[in-house]
Amino acid sequence: MDIRAVAVDGMNLRVATSAGRPGALPLFFFNGIGANLELLRGFADEMQQLGIGIVAFDVPGTGGSSDPPGPYRLAWLASLSCALLVSLGIEGQVDVGGVSWGGGIAQEFTHRYPLRVRRLLLAATSAGAVSLPGAPAAFVKLLDPRRYTDRDFMLRIGGELYGGKLRGNPQLLERYADSLRAPRSTGYGLQLRALVGWTSAHWLRSVQQPTLVMAGTDDPIVPLANGRFLAAMIPHARLVTIDDGHLFLVTSARECAQIIADFLGEDRPRGTGAQHAPYADAAPAQGNG
């Protein structure tokens, strides 16, 4: 990944891009809560091997991006994301994806800028406030920022928190811990606050993009039932389960990259809009989300 700073709306965003094959749309990808770009490196490398480039950025207050001007909602992040694409000179459509917390931004972006989105990928995520909560023990650990700042703490609780291949595999967990970059406490708190009360449930049926929903079979944070709900509510969605935990895009990167690349390369169903809608026509959908 090529990582650089990009000025957008008075902030410096730390942005990562990787090149895809000629003519392929980039995958505009939203990371999980508190997550920095380095955590996507393995997944981005696998996608690039399959000809798919990625665009991602550290959310304001995390990684190397500057702090946001104040509290925000996911609608603001969707608007900022659209402005970032303009700053990068990316016009027309992109494929959009998000994992966990970032899956909420991916849904919000698709809802507000539908003509910007060709296909949608939702990984280990939910519809927000109406979702089935994860295991209480995992939720408590998820809220604890020590998982980013205390490596020993992460090594103790990571398997129980994330499930899947990280259970009982200290070497894999160590590699994950080595990639972490602690978010600033203010930024992490604002990310938590942005999701409070948010839900996509009341407009999911309006999402017309072909959608791939991916869910881990051993995910203590976002149980599989949430993936089933998203796939049932979105008209052109299908669910693929991964025999892994919450971080399957990291711990099963090669398997997941192939599934995603196959999905992005499928012929587009009829009735879902032009393949390359110009940005000038991509007005945001109405509503507060």
Average pLDDT over residues 179-198: 87
**Which residues, including other chains, have CB under 8 Å from residue 233's CB and lie 6 or more apart?**
127, 201, 204, 205
pLDDT for 277 beyond 90: no
**Do 221 and 124 contact (CB within 8 A), yes or no?**
yes
Flag whether 158 is in a domain. Answer: yes
Number of domains in the chain: 1
Joined tokens for residue 19: 């090149």
pLDDT for 243 beyond 90: yes
Cα–Cα dist 50/62, whole Å: 29
166-178 tens-digit pLDDT: 998 999 999 998 8
149-158 tens-digit pLDDT: 888 999 999 9
pLDDT, residue 280, reads 32
Flag whether 287 is in a domain. Answer: no
Flag whether 54 is in a domain. Answer: yes
- Catalytic positions: 100
pTM across the whole model? 0.90
Flag whether 143 is in a domain. Answer: yes
Flag whether 280 is in a domain. Answer: no
Q: How confident is the model at residue 288 (pLDDT cuts 50, 70, 90)?
A: very low
85-106 tens-digit pLDDT: 999 999 999 999 999 999 999 9
Average pLDDT over residues 45-73: 95
pLDDT for 81 beyond 50: yes
pLDDT, residue 267, reads 63
Flag whether 282 is in a domain. Answer: no
Three-state secondary structure of 56-114: EECCCCCCCCCCCCCCCCHHHHHHHHHHHHHHCCCCCCEEEEEECHHHHHHHHHHHHCH
- Element containing residue 277 per DSSP (H, E): none
Computed over every residue of the chain, the mean pLDDT equals: 90
Average pLDDT over residues 215-220: 97
pLDDT, residue 271, reads 34
Q: Which domain holds residue 151?
A: 2-269
Flag whether 81 is in a domain. Answer: yes
Flag whether 281 is in a domain. Answer: no
Give the CATH number, domain containing residue 240: 3.40.50.1820
Joined tokens for residue 284: 């945001």
